[in-house]
Amino acid sequence: MEVGQLQRSFVEYMASLFREGFLDAQFSQLQQLQDDSNPDFVVEVVSLFFEDSERLLNDLTMALDQPNVDFKQVDAHVHQLKGSSSSVGAQRVKNCCAPFRNCCEEQNTETCLRCLQQIKQEYLLVKNKLQTLFELEQQIVAAGGAIPMLQ
Amino acid sequence: MNLGVGSVVKTMSGASCSVSWKSGGSDKVSDQFPAGLRVLVVDDDPTCLMILEKMLRNCHYEVTKSNRAEHALSMLRENRNGFDIVISDVHMPDMDGFKLLEHVGLEMDLPVIMMSADDSKDVVMKGVTHGACDYLIKPVRIEALKNIWQHVIRKKKHELKDKDFDQSTSVEDGDQQQKPPEDVDYSSSANEGSWKSSKRRKEEDETEERDDLSTSKKPRVVWSVELHQQFVQAVNQLGIDKAVPKKILELMNVPGLTRENVASHLQKYRLYLRRLSGVSQHQNGLNNSFMGHPEATYGTMTSFNGLELQALAATGQLPAQSLATLQAAALGRSATKSAISMPLVDQRNLFSFENPKLRFSEGQQQLNNSNKQINLLHGIPTTMEPKQLADLHQSSQSFVAMNMQGNARMQQNNALLMHMSQQQQQSSRAQMLNETNNGQVSRPPLSMSQPAAVLSRNSIVDNVRGPIYNPVSQTSSMVDFSLNQTTELQNNSFPLVSSNSGMSTLTSKRLLLEEVNSDIKGSRGFPPGYDIFEELQQQKTPDWGLPNIGSNFGASDHSSIPGTLDVSPSMLVQQGISSMKKNGLNGNSPIGGPQLNLFSGGNLLPVKAEQLPDTSYQNTFFPEQFGQDDLMSALLKQQESVGQVETEFGFDGYSPLDNLPV
């Protein structure tokens, strides 16, 4: 695909992610932070986010799998997930956190498990989308083009 | 800021360092400011940490990041002056963010910004009460980070102010003063600006006598070695307990030196001694201190202390020995200082506090004693009546919640203790902190603090009891300080003391507070979020000493204006204690007392005039020997001139005082 086309796809894709609520303004902030001194900043941060989130989701799964669920611990994990998802702009993931915390407060394992399920889904979705986005970027760069900046 | 004096006694912070950028201890910031601001970021979330780091670098700050609070703390300890501001997450696995906040505040007195994804009101409130200078909600935007430098400036300014304050208190500005201080503390550079100008204005309006204080940035007296030696000689001659600024000034006989200069230097010196005496004093002093001065207030205090002690002992935190000591102390007099120190010291040693080892054992018993006393005070800012003490503790607990679990008090004490010990040494501190960090409330440090607290109480009691020696000055100074510190705490618990006994306790409390404050001044860490208070305290001392109102202050004449105000403040303080909030109230305002000093020496003035009666009131309680000599003397002077005495708070004719919530 020629560069121009790639770039257009990229822009279009990016716009759709924002439109559909997968990403929010915070992601734009990250993009703005990226500069020549840190050309891969966004990719690095998002990778960190992936690692961290997967760890947290695992911890959550284990915590909710216990016979005696430690809801405080669960809540702490969710809180952390909320912090990191909001920092990268993964809006839908972040939005799952508030109801999840409510379930923790109610100490209801059942609803917590459902929240966990939902948050996992959202996470996988956004992970997928972002990976696609990054691939597009790479293709553009490989084709010799510049990554268009989305305002 | 380069405080010649400060550096002598301030071991805590690199005096100047805390307020200067890398440029090194000068009041001015580098031209690049805020670029180059040295920020320490602590967050266990690697994603956030990375983002923050990038954002901060984009703001041209120098960033150090850490994902572990313990590690961050040790970095801070190793390099006290290596950072200008700390940003920390609230929820961290190894240490609660608020705990870190407390430590940093106590030990390094750096501005700390808390952040969290949690925006619930109570968490934010907790941040405020623990002394965070700001609270950011995640996700943090770069715009929010761009302005964090204001906190550094603000803190510096406050420190400066405190010093400057001594010199400038104007009556007129009272009203203006009040407002700005609050604003200032509550963050806005705009406010700062306005405040500063109003403050400045006041100063200018003020009196003539001030030799060189015409602006908020008064020329500081540089305490050269010789000057300091003269000072020390004078103090020794008078005896640390009796060393009041006025007399010291006379003895020193240095032209151009004002009472305020001496007063603030004295305060720092006392802090320094306290630190020194931490270790040595304990040993010898204990016994002396228990000489008993049984006075009414004492009795109450004693019982209170006893209760506490017992409670402490019961919790197993207070070693039996300490308990005994404390009790003895309670019964003893202010000499207790040494006694008290002992328990403290012992405790400390238990917990491997190294610093108590007086490095400097100056061998000045007196000093030590007084120091001890001070130490005690730090522990517990309450000298009020038992009930008040309890209240105080309660409130302090709520405010200074280390880990508030059940031993809030202890924790507080612990915090205080830590504070105290910190002053002494870094290493000991580290230990203490480490210990506390272990998250055990019941750790020895707590107990230590308790004893300390108790001791301080005891000591306070002592002070309160006797006839007022240097009553005025001491009380007032104390008041200021204590008020500041405890204002929050006390708001609830210390309704204006209407009875003399109440007052005395107040006084003692104040003294305690003052002490605490002084310590804090050095470290600024203590009262979380009580930046205002800190400042007040600092100012207070000098202010107190100078009641301008027309009384003759002798040496303090020049500075008088501030002094006069001070006097009232003390009075006001008492009254205002209950109503004081962190508003930089000046004498005028209802809260007035401590606040006065803080924000505006000026305000005090108006109040002063009326406060004279207060001063007389103060006579009633002046704890014999509190460090607030200047205040005391000032007050005394005022009283003399005023000649009125009021019943309890002596605010009888003060309209401004009327405001004070009684």
Q: How far apart are CA B117 and CA A90, in angstroms?
A: 14
Rounded to a whole number of angstroms, the distance from the CA of B139 to the nearest CA of chain A is 5
H or E element at residue B177: helix B174-185
On the CB side of B225, how many CA atoms lie within 13 Å of its CA? Answer: 0
Contact B117 A48 (CB under 8 A): no
Contact B46 A48 (CB under 8 A): yes
Contact A86 B44 (CB under 8 A): no
Average pLDDT over residues B608-634: 44
Q: pLDDT tens for residues B499-553?
A: 444 344 444 444 444 444 444 443 443 444 444 444 444 444 444 433 444 344 3
Chain A nearest-CA residue for B53: A33
Rounded to a whole number of angstroms, the distance from the CA of A134 to the nearest CA of chain B is 18
Q: How far apart are CA B533 and CA B396, in angstroms?
A: 14
Among the partner-chain residues B44, B118, B138, the one whose CB lies closest to the CB of A87 is B138
Closest CA to B570 of B507, B487, B629: B507
pLDDT tens for chain A, 151 residues long, are 688 888 999 999 999 999 999 999 999 999 999 888 888 999 999 999 999 999 999 999 999 999 999 999 999 999 999 999 999 999 999 999 999 999 999 999 999 999 999 999 999 999 999 999 999 999 998 988 888 876 5
Q: Which residues of B177-198 are buried (b: 16+ CB within 10 A; e: fewer)?
A: bbbbbbbbbbeeeebbebbbeb
pLDDT reading at B227 higher than 70:
yes
Can you give the pLDDT at residue A47?
Answer: 95
A87 close to B (CB below 8 A): yes
Which residue stretches of B400-470 are H helix? 408-424, 426-437, 444-465
B134 strand-pairing partners: B113
Amino acid at B492: N
Q: pLDDT tens for residues B168-216?
A: 444 444 444 444 444 444 444 444 444 444 444 544 444 444 444 444 4
| CB contact at 8 A, B523 and B12 | yes
Evaluate the CA torsion angle B275, B279, B280, B282 in order and state its sign: positive
Token match 């040993």: residue? Answer: B283
Among the partner-chain residues B47, B117, B140, the one whose CB lies closest to the CB of A45 is B47
Sheet with B112-116, edge to edge strand ranges: B62-66, B38-42, B85-89, B112-116, B134-137
Can you give the pLDDT at residue B31?
Answer: 64
Q: How far apart are CA B519 and CA B526, in angstroms?
A: 8
Chain B nearest-CA residue for A48: B47
Total residue length of chain B: 662
Can you give the pLDDT at residue B598?
Answer: 37
How is domain A3-142 classified at the architecture level of CATH? Up-down Bundle (1.20)
- The per-residue DSSP string of B615-641 comes to HHHHHHT--TT-STHHHHHHHHHHHHH
Lowest-confidence segment of A25-29, B224-228, B319-323, B334-338 by average pLDDT:
B334-338
Can you give the pLDDT at residue A61?
Answer: 94
Non-local (6+) Cβ contacts of A74 within 8 A are A60, A63, A64, A104, A112
Can you give the pLDDT at residue A54?
Answer: 95
Between the CA of residue B517 and those of B93, B211, B370, B537, what are the distances in Å?
Answer: 32, 27, 15, 6
Q: How far apart are CA B649 and CA B662, in angstroms?
A: 9
Rounded to a whole number of angstroms, the distance from the CA of A82 to the nearest CA of chain B is 7
Best B41, B42, B43, B47 member to test A by mutation, with max A CBs in 10 Å, is: B47
A86 close to B (CB below 8 A): yes
- The per-residue DSSP string of B111-141 comes to -EEEEES---HHHHHHHHHTT-SEEEESSPP
Average pLDDT over residues B297-323: 43
Percent of chain B having pLDDT more than 70?
27
Amino acid at B608: K
Q: How far apart are CA B403 and CA A56, in angstroms?
A: 26
On the CB side of B4, how many CA atoms lie within 13 Å of its CA? Answer: 13
B640 strand-pairing partners: none
Q: pLDDT tens for residues B82-109?
A: 899 999 999 888 888 998 888 888 887 8
Among the partner-chain residues B51, B58, B91, the one whose CB lies closest to the CB of A79 is B91
Q: Tell me the two tokens of residue B518.
A: 């002084």
Amino acid at B494: F
pLDDT reading at B151 higher than 60:
yes
Rounded to a whole number of angstroms, the distance from the CA of B130 to the nearest CA of chain A is 21
Q: How many CB pairs below 8 A link A and B?
A: 59
Under DSSP, the state recorded for B107 is I
Under DSSP, the state recorded for B221 is P
Contact A52 B46 (CB under 8 A): yes
Q: pLDDT tens for residues B5-60?
A: 444 443 444 334 344 444 444 444 456 778 889 999 999 999 999 999 999 999 99
Contact A86 B55 (CB under 8 A): no
| CB contact at 8 A, B424 and B356 | yes
Contact A80 B91 (CB under 8 A): yes
Can you give the pLDDT at residue B276?
Answer: 66
Evaluate the CA torsion angle B548, B554, B558, B562 in order and state its sign: negative
Rounded to a whole number of angstroms, the distance from the CA of A72 to the nearest CA of chain B is 12
Under DSSP, the state recorded for B222 is P
A window 7-36, beta carbon within 8 A of B: 26, 29-30, 32-33, 35
Q: Residue B658: pLDDT band by 50, 70, 90 thresholds?
A: very low
Can you give the pLDDT at residue A104?
Answer: 92
Look at residue B142 and give its three-state secondary structure: helix
Average pLDDT over residues B413-421: 45
| B58 contact residues in A (CB cutoff 8 A) | 33, 35
Q: How far apart are CA B606 and CA A59, in angstroms?
A: 63
Lowest-confidence segment of A62-66, B417-421, B618-622 by average pLDDT:
B618-622
| B47 contact residues in A (CB cutoff 8 A) | 45, 48-49, 52, 84, 87-88
| B89 contact residues in A (CB cutoff 8 A) | 83
Q: pLDDT tens for residues B469-489?
A: 343 334 333 333 333 343 333
Can you give the pLDDT at residue B72?
Answer: 92
Can you give the pLDDT at residue A81?
Answer: 93
H or E element at residue B40: strand B38-42
Can you give the pLDDT at residue B246?
Answer: 86
Query: What residues does each domain of chain A span?
Result: 3-142
Average pLDDT over residues B594-602: 38
pLDDT reading at B322 higher than 80:
no
| A51 contact residues in B (CB cutoff 8 A) | 46
pLDDT reading at B406 higher than 50:
no
Q: pTM (2 decimals)?
A: 0.44
pLDDT reading at B69 higher than 50:
yes
Average pLDDT over residues B126-150: 90
| CB contact at 8 A, A140 and A146 | yes
Among the partner-chain residues B47, B91, B142, the one whose CB lies closest to the CB of A52 is B47
B91 close to A (CB below 8 A): yes
CA dihedral B544, B546, B549, B554 (to 10 degrees): 140
Q: How far apart are CA A88 and CA A85, in angstroms?
A: 5
Can you give the pLDDT at residue B112?
Answer: 92
Closest CA to B469 of B498, B497, B511: B511
Q: Tell me the two tokens of residue B577.
A: 């204690």
| CB contact at 8 A, B458 and B606 | no
B62 strand-pairing partners: B38
| A30 contact residues in B (CB cutoff 8 A) | 51
| B54 contact residues in A (CB cutoff 8 A) | 33, 38, 41, 45
